[in-house]
A and B are shown apart, each in its own frame.
Chain A
Amino acid sequence: MSNLASSAALAQASPSSAPSGHAIELVGVNKWYGEFHVLKDINLKVHRGERIVICGPSGSGKSTMIRCINRLEEHQQGTIIVDGIELTNDLKRIDEIRREVGMCFQHFNLFPHLTILENLTLAPIWVRKMPKKEADELAMHFLTKVKIPEQAHKYPGQLSGGQQQRVAIARALCMKPKILLFDEPTSALDPEMVKEVLETMVSLAEEGMTMLCVTHEMGFARQVANRVIFMDAGQIIEMNEPEPFFSNPQHERTRLFLSQILGH
């Protein structure tokens, strides 16, 4: 496993749209917000079934990077291949990729005017064209999986933050994605609710879901990540398996960051 990931050495993939063995490949990805260079030459390959935790200070580009994977943000340079499909401006490809990539957000982003059940069935019915009855059954299956089937007919505003985030995970699962992206899923939660969400994520990881998770929950990283990535100033500074990442970080900036978040 390479410690230094910002080099192009990590980018062995050819930038083609041919099916590849990787779930996700980012090759030489660059992105700017106006003058601000937010992603700098990002190279990353994610194997199928791999769990990757991404950490770093705020503004380091970690959220932007995962949001590029399902095209919530557009990259300006480089190649992103998701499940063998190269991400371009082609709307069909973007739709195809979004069908395979689920996402959970920091603020859950449940639809407040729909019941929990309707939140879960909306995309299966409208995107997958699933009959309502089947979609309802699927939704109840995943609500049971995240341990809140009894909340099906409530509205998001009636649930706790932890419950809402579990609903958000179930909603993403209803599309049967191959890859799940998590953008700081526990950052907006009260401390006592973090555990229930992390437990749900751990159980997903155990089932072999490919996961990219932006989080500062280092306990979670140790427990389930195959690799941990540290980003700063738009670059991947360090990438390693959890044990060497935490016990022997190679970069000064990683050491400083870890000392700050593990120190309190």
Chain B
Amino acid sequence: MNLSSFIDVFHAWPSLLNGLVMTVMLTLVSSFLGVVLGTLCAWGSLKGPKAVRWFIRGYVEFFRNTPFLGQIFFIFFGLPALGLRLDPVTAALVALTINLTAYACEIIRAGIEATPAGQFEAASSLGLKPAQAFFLVIIPPAFQRVWPAMTSQLVIILLASALCSQISVAELSYEANMIASRTFRNFEAYIVVTLIYLGLAVLFREMLTWVGRRFVYGEFATGAQR
């Protein structure tokens, strides 16, 4: 093996680029949906009727304690038996979103539970409805508290998207498999893709840190430090 053995891999850059775009799309869409749905689930698990609370608890337990590969296989290969046939990309998005929602729900719930009860009482005493109190008063500081944990979870989802290659979604890992089997340059293909993942993960983390500073912490964080 020498540097020239990487040439075959670099020649396949259009495939790598397509894979990269797919990985980024899967990550961004499932991250957005997972955080939004996780927030709603956190609300439901704390403030919803008993049946909703139990349902969400069961859902979270199930998806946090089973392997993601099993979940994605069930959604892609298992659901057609129940009459629901999804194309690979949709199945991957559904699997990533459902998985992330379960984790996000727990992370956000922890942030909400760390919020002093007085915040909700103050909002209630001002006449805000429970949903208004939740989204205007409780959620912003709760997000501030858990944003570092949420950032880690979103990076995990980026890396977990590699498993979507197993249902033939043409993302980065899938393209690596293709290049490796076509060129027999296994080492080179996987090291290049692994380094791309590393770069992506670091970039994504930095982006989420920026999002945190810009939208989650806001001026409040700098204000509180003064």
A105 and B121 contact, Cβ closer than 8 Å, known pairs A123-B128, A154-B223, A171-B126: yes
Task: Say which residue of B127, B224, B226 sits within 8 Å of A112 (CB atoms).
Answer: B224
B199 within 8 A of A: no
Task: Say which residue of A70, A113, A155 sits within 8 Å of B125 (CB atoms).
Answer: A70
B54 within 8 A of A: no
How many interface residues does B have (CB within 8 Å)?
24
Give the distance in Å from the alpha carbon of A155 to the alpha carbon of B224 in the complex: 7
Give the distance in Å from the alpha carbon of A123 to the alpha carbon of B126 in the complex: 6
B119 within 8 A of A: yes
A95 within 8 A of B: yes
What chain B residues lie within 8 Å of A95 (beta carbons)?
Answer: 127, 129
What chain A residues lie within 8 Å of B129 (beta carbons)?
Answer: 95
Please provide the chain A residues from 76 to 115 with a CB less than 8 Å away from any CB of chain B in the complex: 95, 98-99, 101-103, 105, 107, 109-114
How far apart are B141's CB and chain A's nearest CB, in angstroms? Answer: 5
What chain B residues lie within 8 Å of A127 (beta carbons)?
Answer: 126-128, 132
Give the distance in Å from the alpha carbon of A97 to the alpha carbon of B71 in the complex: 49
Give the distance in Å from the alpha carbon of A130 to the alpha carbon of B226 in the complex: 32
What chain A residues lie within 8 Å of B226 (beta carbons)?
Answer: 158
Please provide the chain A residues from 169 to 193 with a CB less than 8 Å away from any CB of chain B in the complex: 171-172, 175, 181
Give the distance in Å from the alpha carbon of A170 to the alpha carbon of B224 in the complex: 21
Cβ-defined contact, B128 with A157, below 8 A: no
Residues of chain B at the chain A interface (Cβ within 8 Å): 116, 118-119, 121-129, 132, 136-137, 140-141, 144, 218-220, 223-224, 226
Given A103-B122, A112-B220, A113-B220, output 8 extra A-B contacts at Cβ < 8 Å. Answer: A70-B124, A72-B121, A72-B124, A105-B118, A111-B141, A112-B224, A127-B128, A168-B122
Offer 21 A-B interface pairs, CB within 8 angstroms, sorted by A. A71-B124, A72-B121, A103-B122, A105-B118, A109-B116, A110-B122, A111-B123, A112-B141, A112-B220, A113-B141, A114-B220, A122-B136, A123-B126, A126-B132, A127-B126, A127-B128, A155-B220, A158-B223, A158-B224, A158-B226, A175-B126
